[in-house]
Structure formats: C-alpha cells, structure tokens
A and B are shown apart, each in its own frame.
Chain A
C-alpha cells in the first residue's frame, strides 16, 4: 500500500530528541573531563555560580534567538536579521535607560524588535520576497540603524533596573536563564496549546496545499517573523544589560548563524515542516557547552569554529537519508 518514498520523514529519529540529549550529555562529560570542577556549584549573593550555570547563562541569548528562528524555519523561511535586531534593541534600551523608567525602556526596546519582525514578515509574506534576501536587508541595514541610534559610540548606562536583566537572579538562577525558560514555556504553550503549530507546519511543508485548505499562510508567516523579532529584542536586552552598554558594531554579531545552527541541530529541516521549540533551545545550549568547554580547556578559542563545523557535519550526517541508506547497506554486507 505505501509508496516507496524514502525521503519524506527523514527527520523521524528513533525517539525525538534522543540524539540531541545524548550529544548534550556527551559534551558536558567532555567539559567535565577537561575541567574537573565543571559541575561545582556555589551560592553567592543569592545566585548560583559555576561552569554549568555559565553554559545556560551565556547560552541564553542564542537560545532566545533560536526560539524565534525555529518557527521561522518551520515555515520554510530564515531570519538573518536577528543579530542586527539585537543591536537595535540594545541601542534603544541603552540610550533610554538612564532617562526613562524601566517599563518604558523595555517597551521601546521590545517594540523596536517587533517592528523589525513585522518589516521582515511584510517583505516575505506580503511582497513574497525570498526570506534569505528579505531578512538580509535588515541584517545589513539594521546594524546601520543601531549605529545611527548610538551615533557610532558605545552607549553606556548605569540604571540598575535594566542591568538586572542580566545580573539579576530568580530563585538562585540567573535572570537570562529564567527569561529563556519563561519565553520557551510561553512559546510552547502558544504554539502547541493553540493550532498555530499545525498551521505553521502545514504552511512550511506545503504552502500551496495549505492555502487551498484555507490556511491563512500569509498571517501565519507574518506572525512567526514578528515573534522572531521579539525574541531577538529580548536577546539584545540580555547582552546590553550584561555589558551595561550598547555596542552597535558587535552586539549580536554572527549570532544569527548560531541560532540557525541550533535549529538545525534540533533536527528541523530547512525545507520547513515539523519543528520542536525545546529541541532548538537545547541546540543553543549544546553550542554554548562546546564554547565553554574549549574556553575551559585552555585551547585557543579559534578552535571553537572548527569544533562547531565538525558538530554541524556530524548532525547533518546523522540526518542524511542517503547515509541512512548507506549504513543499511553496510550492515547488510557485514551481517
């Protein structure tokens, strides 16, 4: 009865998420081997410290980006502008922080992110521009906008409210980690609690069929870019709060690539369709665990890039349908 179409559910791993969890555990193990105190935790000033906490704390910005990115990728799109949107959101926040109340600062910064997302969504969903080109526009222009906002300087601030976004703690956990968990929970709740998840997957897997089934593919696409912009603004707030200033040149630089990598590690096909938000966040932490490990090991950080490349290759090989066929062949021969 069934058609011999090998290619279709290529991403159906034996148990969803198992490879990612295994990879994360393995990398943490390696981290522990190069740095025996890796799992040590200590409480200081009502906040937990330690290398493991660092992985989650440092990984938070990319994790936030990947939450938005995974939805965009699921609609068969991509958002290259998130790094630039981080810079814009950071620049807005830093320049208002010392003169305005915290709610105003946050609203302005997040509003800027939403606006950026809406712009991307407009280009992709309404004008029908290819996502990679449409978001490339803001990737380039966004950093320029951020530099105009900061007038080319590094804008610093001292308002403790905004700083708390990075150095604050909730029940002992760093604020960025808590923020990531909350955004993750809200996103999962909205996407899986409503029918948005189904509509996103349908739009990404077959936009024409979805439109003929009555799915408003345009609104769906617009929504995911807006959410991606919002998540990027949050990530921008975290990095700005971290350095108590906005560096338009470097804030979020190249992080869009890490976010895409996280989404790919999560097993999401860049051709759209099925996705998992928690796995994308896990992917972000896998990347950070590698970064931290190399830092701890004392190897030059340049090695980081090579290691990342190897991991990407490994992930893609594991997911390659051709390789799956090949390994079957090998097994049959050896058997």
Chain B
C-alpha cells in the first residue's frame, strides 16, 4: 500500500516457500511480499509457520522449495550472517547479545574499528554514541548492556541490526517482555526506520499493537498463507477469524452436533468450585465450577491466559487470591501433588519439556503419576505395571505397541496418548488437557477428540484448551473465553458456537453470559 514505485520489484518477495520437518509440512507454498517503508505484521497461532518462515528466509534452516528475492535479486543465505550481509536483519524475542559486554562492544561485535589489529575503543564509543543518538537512546555506550532494561537491550539489538546496513528488519515478538511505555518507544523507532525506507516484518501476539503500528497484515495458519490485507481494511473480528481459521458463514451454517449437550438437564454434581481464583500479573481472579460429565472449553488467542488458568487449576502455579473447594471441602493447591491427591490430571501443552520423560519407556511413563501418588514405598508390582501399560496401549491404540520402547521415539500423537494413559491410570475425576491435539497427525487428532467425548460420558470433568474453535464447540458444554489474562465471557448451552466465541475474543461487544 505504501510502496510508491509500483513497477519496481518489491523489497522482499517470497514465493511458494515450502519446508517440511521429518515429513511434517511446516510451510506449504507460502507467498509473502514486503514493500520498502512498510511495517508488515506476520500473524498466526502457534504452529502456523511464522518462525519457520523467518528461519527459512534468514538461512537458519534450508528451504525445500520456493524463491526469495530481495530487490528483485534471488537470495539464498546459508546462515544468519549471510542473511545479515545480504541485508536481512533479525531481532529475536530473547536478545541475542552479550549482556556482560558494553553497549558499544555489542554494537560493534565482530566488526570493531581497529588500527594495527588493536581495537580503537575511543573511536568505537564515539561511533556507538552517534548510533544511539539516532535512536533517542540516552545511555552511556561504555556501560554493560546487561545493566539496561530489556527494552533498551532490544533497541540496541535493533540499532546493531540496522547499522549493519539492513534493508529488511525482522522483529520476532520484540514486545513480549516490554511494558506499554517501552512498546511506545519501540514503535517510534520502527516508524522512523520505515520512513527511511526500511521494510519491517513484525511478529507479535498482541492485536492492539498490530493495529497501532502496522500497514499490512499477513496471516498464516497451519503452514499455509491465509491472506494478506491492508491493516486498515481488516476489522479485528475478521483478523481473528483468519487466525483461527473459520469463516463466519461456515460457522453458523454448520449445525451443532446433536450429541454435544447432554440436553443440559443432566446437571452433573459439582467436583470443584473456584471462587475469585487468581494470581496478580498471571491471571485475573475468576470463578469456575467443574461438574461431573461436563467439558469446559477454554478459548482465546495465544497469550490470553488459557494455559496460565489451567496451571492455577492444577496447582502447578499457586493462586494468591480466592478459594477453591474440591469435593465440598476447602483446599489449598500449592503443588500439583495437592491436586493429584484429589484425582486431578493435567496434560500440558509443552509435551516434550513438561509431559514425557523421553528416555524412559512407555510403561514407565504410563505408571509414573499413579506411582508418584502411591509414594515410593508402595511400588506397583511389575506384572501390574505391564498389565496397565498393555491395557492402555490397546485402548488408545498406541503405536508401536511396545511398552518397553523409550517414549521419546514415538510420534507426537502417540506420546500424547501415552500421557493421557498416564492420567487415566490414576482414575482421575478432573482432567485438564492443554492443546491435546496440537502437532499430531490427523488420525490421532480424531481419536483424541473421540476419547474426550468418551471420557466425558464416563463421568469425568474435563477442561480442554484448544485454539481449534470448531473443535471446541463439538464437545464443550461450556466455553470460557479469555482475553488479556482475564476471563471475559462464559458461553453455555445453545450459546456455544464459533461466532459467539469469535465475537467474545474480538471484544466487539460484551458477550452476554447464558
């Protein structure tokens, strides 16, 4: 939109970019166009392919197919340095600089001004001061970088990247750890750089910031391009639809599955009641009741506080406000063990780092939670362990059906099933599933959804976090919608549909609780 020279080649043009990891497609023929002087938001939920796109373009990973041209010239950098030399600079969420070196040293790392092989510190500081002045950064270049706030460190990283004669600046979630004021400073710098003709790719999860600073929006979903719009032409509601992958028309057209709401009349008995439960700066106080045979869906964009809510419910994070009653008695949830004692289970989203114990066998992984609850001195006899493992391997169709195989060698879907088995073995009454279908193949996906319904019919209370709204509405009795770490709406019964959830997420109007 902002490009004046229409007959020229765009600053950065990506065409048909494709990349697979171990057979799983991460990018499928994605196009992306960045004009000079443009601030371009690259959006999408987890696993949409934003990081892969950036890494592929900047040479961190090699692409399988597709072309990248900078000013009309094809480029194929083999490393981050090569990309930098070609004019593509990237600043990541975690500042990639050396906090114990000075600001000036960081700015000139690897390209220090020298005379006879010796670094000219005075010259370096002078030039650093000049660069910093251009960014309105009133800091002493001789001070260690680590002494400054994260925001300043980000700006220094950007200053360094730009000073390396960048044409394109890629900012990968730079604002995640900044406060409102710092974000404003960053935006000012971004606008000034864009005015000088730089193209800026801005990755973020904060939609307010998208509308505050960008000219254009490109949305990816499941490795595919959803579309590209001028920011001014794309209402927030439609943006969220694009990100979550549902057209409004489709959503309303589809009849709600008949078996979803067990007619609402069979009110299950209360298992857990949370009142004004919360932790300042983590999740705002909320009320939630979990009933037998009911599925509560937690919906919201990434970073809206869904996972944080789950962790509070499970005691993985200790609440600082409010009360919880389980089975009618007040409880304090200090650690997961407290919740597990009341027959809670939790499958985290981060399967590899928080779920599986990769080098232990499938059997060990399945019996772990049950064994932990019984304590070390009441070991589950080996024969019983094997029976448990065999039972759940058969029931959930875990493949390969070998209980002694290290679980790290299984596919994502089978790891997820083994984690479900871990909790099912404890005969839970509440099961919290955080993105249970993320990153697993289509077959396992359907099986896990079927299982969620079965479990629910079996009298379990389920809390399911999912970004797949069309999936949530098929099994959830109630949907709690979150935004900015706050529970903003609860949809119940007939009100549970994709449109209503989208509306609540977008915050166009206060969604009325049913």
Contacts and interface: CB of A to CB of B under 8 A. Distances in A.
Interface of A: 1-5, 8-9, 193-196, 198-199, 201-202, 205-206, 208-216, 220, 273-274
A273 B357 CA distance: 9
Given A5-B408, A8-B358, A195-B378, 6 more contacts: A2-B409, A3-B408, A3-B409, A201-B364, A273-B359, A274-B359
Interface residues of B, number: 41
B88 interface: no
Contacts of A201: 357, 360, 364
Interface of A is mostly: loop
Nearest to B339: A214
B378 to A, nearest CB: 8
Contacts of A209: 353-357
A215 B337 CA distance: 8
Nearest to B337: A214
In the complex, the 8 A-B pairs of residues with the closest C-beta atoms, listed nearest first: A214-B372, A214-B340, A195-B379, A8-B408, A215-B372, A213-B369, A196-B376, A2-B409
A3 B410 contact: yes
Contacts of A8: 358-359, 406, 408-409
Contacts of B414: 1
B275 to A, nearest CB: 25
Contacts of B409: 2-3, 5, 8-9
A211 B315 CA distance: 11
A89 B451 CA distance: 58
A3 B399 CA distance: 12
B337 A3 contact: no
27 contacts: A1-B400, A2-B409, A2-B411, A3-B22, A3-B409, A3-B410, A5-B408, A5-B409, A195-B375, A195-B380, A199-B372, A199-B376, A201-B357, A205-B358, A205-B359, A205-B360, A206-B357, A208-B354, A209-B355, A211-B336, A212-B314, A212-B354, A213-B336, A214-B336, A214-B337, A214-B340, A274-B360
B143 interface: no
Contacts of B346: 212
Given A195-B379, A212-B354, A202 B364 contact: yes
A212 B368 contact: no
B411 A1 contact: yes
A317 to B, nearest CB: 21
B223 interface: no
B316 interface: yes
A215 B410 contact: no
B191 to A, nearest CB: 41
B304 to A, nearest CB: 21
B371 A199 contact: yes
Given A1-B399, A194-B379, A205-B357, A210 B411 contact: no
B165 interface: no
B315 to A, nearest CB: 10
Interface string B374-408: 11111110000000000000000001100000101
B167 interface: no
A2 B380 CA distance: 28
A198 B353 contact: no
A9 B356 CA distance: 14
